[in-house]
A = this chain, B = another copy of it.
Amino acid sequence: MFSAFAELLPDLTELYQNLHRHPELSFEENRTAAELGHHLRDLGYEVTTGVGRTGVVGVLRNGDGPTVMLRADMDALPVTERTGLPYASNRPGVMHACGHDLHCAWLVGAAALLAHGADQWAGTVLLVLQPAEETGGGAEAMVDDGLYERFGRPTVAFGQHVGPAPAGRVLSRPGLMMAASDSLQVRLFGRGGHGAKPESTVDPIVMAAATVLRLQTIVSREIPATDTAVVTVGALHAGTKENIIPDDAELKLSVRTFEPRVRERVLGAITRIVHAEAAAAGAPKPPEVEIMRAFEPVVNDEAATSRVSDAFIAHFGSDRVAGTEPQTGSEDFGVYGARGRFPSVFWFVGGSDPEAYEQAERAGRVDRDIPSNHSPYFAPVLETTLSTGVETLVTAAMAWLTASGSADPQTG
């Protein structure tokens, strides 16, 4: 099954670099979708584009058997690339800083191996290339657009993400895998005026600054240290000129939690603090706090995860397969299984240079020395990462497609 990979590698590398060079933001993945659709059609997949706006679906029916769904996400981020790579983004302000280009290349690689080796398995492979994972909404858009009704309900679904671990390594866990995520937008209302006359204004920038600092106390004071919560203000915008005090300020917040009771307490504290800080400033009207989107946690099915892990260990050897703590990152992958009521499994594939990673780990500096996803310096090492992510998809898929009785989703 995997012997064909060496032949594939040059094309896959080119595809990856092509995607990396032309990043597209959420729900604007038109070029990406066209490119990927073209590759899948060449491999013999029945391809439908425009599913959930810019999503792509590829289907390969190969006799009776389970339907295995493999999912990749396609969108890039509003980040200006600083890697200096020869194939760096040619669009200032947009970058594949989260590795979704790699996810797409992995999916195409797996699609190729599965197509070439179709005599070794039976069933249906359902490829889902979704838009807008970063902003959320992509998974829901595809399901809402009839993903299961039009292309069949899967027996099991797999998703994977490149991350800061040594290249060649695969990490997963049963149960809670990734955090719930809430995206909030906060508008603070002051009263604008001349920068030399603050007394005739209510300064929304000072209000915003006090709010940002006070929000830090949610995690530091209100949540048990043994629980998990992240409250990040990822964007803060106010004003145009130094000598005009603006009318308002806008904050964008990201919240990550593992448990509903913690989530509830964090969201309550945000609302309380934002309102009180506006009151402290004498704001002319209360702030607006809006939840823009909310991701459920990604929860791996216990039985399916166990079957996937066994297959990974058999394929990669146990030294390349590891457990992991639940991650504060989040994903809309959880939407597929929750909406379709079938088991799903998500895992990470390491993308860091193993030597650099080990050195950073020994120095206790992984957090500081290894560029994380979303960093403008994010750059997975190529060959090992590319091959590992293709092999994981194929290995997991084959654990269902070659098994007798695997059509029973209950044992997924």
Contacts and interface: CB of A to CB of B under 8 A. Distances in A.
Contacts of A205: 212, 233-236
A319 to B, nearest CB: 23
Nearest to A280: B276
A325 interface: yes
A85 interface: no
A245 interface: yes
Interface centre among A198, A269, A326, A370 (most CB of B within 10 A): A198
A253 B246 CA distance: 13
Interface string A225-254: 110111111111111111111110100111
A187 interface: no
Contacts of A376: 192, 247
A328 B194 CA distance: 10
Nearest to A183: B242
Interface string A255-269: 010000100110001
A210 interface: yes
Interface in A354-372: 364, 366-368, 370-372
Nearest to A243: B254
Contact of A225 (B209, B228, B253, B366): B228
Given A243-B234, A243-B374, A254 B221 contact: no
A120 interface: no
Contacts of A78: 240-241, 244
A328 B224 contact: yes
Q: Tell me the number of copies of this protein.
A: 4
B193 A134 contact: no
A83 interface: no
A209 to B, nearest CB: 4
Contacts of A223: 199
A214 B280 contact: yes
A240 B79 contact: yes
Contacts of A327: 196, 226
A93 to B, nearest CB: 8
Interface of A: 77-79, 97-98, 134-135, 164, 179, 181, 183-185, 191-201, 203, 205-206, 208-214, 216-226, 228-247, 249, 252-254, 256, 261, 264-265, 269, 272-273, 275-277, 279-282, 292, 325-330, 364, 366-368, 370-376
7 interchain residue pairs of minimum CB distance: A235-B239, A276-B280, A209-B212, A242-B252, A196-B328, A200-B367, A195-B232
